[in-house]
């Protein structure tokens, strides 16, 4: 290669504005060709890692783990997920192949949580199953079915706290919807896992 790259900080390090991240040298034409792409990747990954770190810091001292989403820009999923990890977060799913997530539209189509879970288990994939719950009543149904994880979708903090009490560790609980830097601490303090 006619370009040399020497990182000056470790991946995931906290840096300050104007700090030296890397030394790059090489032919001018090669540097100019790669400059914009490299800066775009660096900016994207740094932004994701920084925002993740802000969420992680906001829930420090609770049991909650900040997770990413599978829904990213085409071709950038693994890069985005790495940035989340470097920011201190965790990965939810890499793809549709590593967990069955039964969402509200699946539940509605199947005619209820019980039937949706039955159909998912009929595939005998051995994959863990996560069910979206829109109410505390849905949480009770999902618990009765023995699913591994329950997604608490757009629930109030009070409803989440009630779900945590009902669950007693029988399933992992994931909060989703209306999670911001302003709300994440209150959500984490309910005792949800993610």
Pick the catalytic residue from 2, 4, 14, 36. 36
Q: What is the mean pLDDT of the chain?
A: 95
Instruction: Flag whether 56 is in a domain.
Output: yes
CATH number of the domain to which 175 belongs: 3.20.20.70
Instruction: Flag whether 40 is in a domain.
Output: no
Pick the catalytic residue from 103, 119, 134, 170. 103
Q: For this structure, is 189 an active site residue?
A: no
Q: For this structure, is 2 an active site residue?
A: no
Instruction: Flag whether 5 is in a domain.
Output: no
The number of domains in the chain is 1
Query: Does 1 score more than 80 pLDDT?
Result: no
Q: For this structure, is 165 an active site residue?
A: no
B/e letters for 98-110, b = 16+ CB within 10 Å, e = fewer, are: ebbbbebebbeeb
Pick the catalytic residue from 57, 104, 114, 153. 153
pLDDT (tens digit per residue) in 50-83: 999 999 999 999 999 999 987 888 899 999 999 9
What confidence score (pLDDT) does residue 170 get? 96
Q: For this structure, is 103 an active site residue?
A: yes
Closest to 135 (Cα-Cα) out of 118, 120, 156 = 156
Instruction: Flag whether 9 is in a domain.
Output: no
Instruction: Flag whether 155 is in a domain.
Output: yes
- Residue 15 Cα to chain centre, angstroms: 23
List helix spans (H) across 59-152.
77-86, 104-110, 113-122, 136-144
Pick the catalytic residue from 2, 17, 71, 182. 71
pLDDT band at 190 (very low <50, low <70, confident <90, very high): very high
What confidence score (pLDDT) does residue 159 get? 98
Rounded CA separation 187/118 (Å): 30
Pick the catalytic residue from 80, 130, 132, 138. 132
pLDDT band at 31 (very low <50, low <70, confident <90, very high): very high
Q: For this structure, is 36 an active site residue?
A: yes
Instruction: Flag whether 33 is in a domain.
Output: no
Which domain covers residue 59, as residue numbers? 51-190
Instruction: Flag whether 29 is in a domain.
Output: no
pLDDT (tens digit per residue) in 122-179: 988 899 999 999 999 999 999 999 999 999 999 999 999 999 999 999 999 999 999 9
Could you tell me the pTM of the whole model? 0.90
């Amino acid at each position: 290669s006619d370009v040399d790259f020497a990182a000056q900080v470790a991946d995931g390090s906290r840096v300050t504005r104007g700090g030296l991240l890397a030394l790059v040298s090489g032919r001018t034409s090669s540097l100019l060709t790669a400059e914009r792409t490299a800066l775009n990747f660096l900016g994207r990954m740094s932004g994701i890692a920084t925002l993740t770190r802000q969420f992680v810091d906001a829930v420090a001292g609770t049991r909650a783990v900040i997770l990413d989403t599978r829904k990213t820009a085409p071709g950038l999923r693994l890069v985005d997920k790495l940035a989340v990890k470097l920011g201190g977060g965790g990965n939810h799913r890499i793809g549709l192949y590593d967990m069955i997530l039964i969402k509200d539209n699946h539940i509605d189509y199947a005619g209820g949580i019980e039937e949706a879970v039955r159909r998912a288990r009929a595939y005998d994939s051995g994959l863990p199953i996560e069910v979206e719950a829109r109410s505390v009543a849905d949480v009770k149904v999902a618990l009765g079915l023995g699913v591994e994880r329950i997604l608490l979708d757009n629930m109030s903090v009070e409803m989440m706290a009630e779900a945590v009490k009902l669950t007693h560790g029988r399933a992992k609980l994931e909060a989703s919807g209306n999670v911001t830097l302003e709300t994440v601490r209150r959500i984490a303090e309910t005792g949800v896992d993610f």
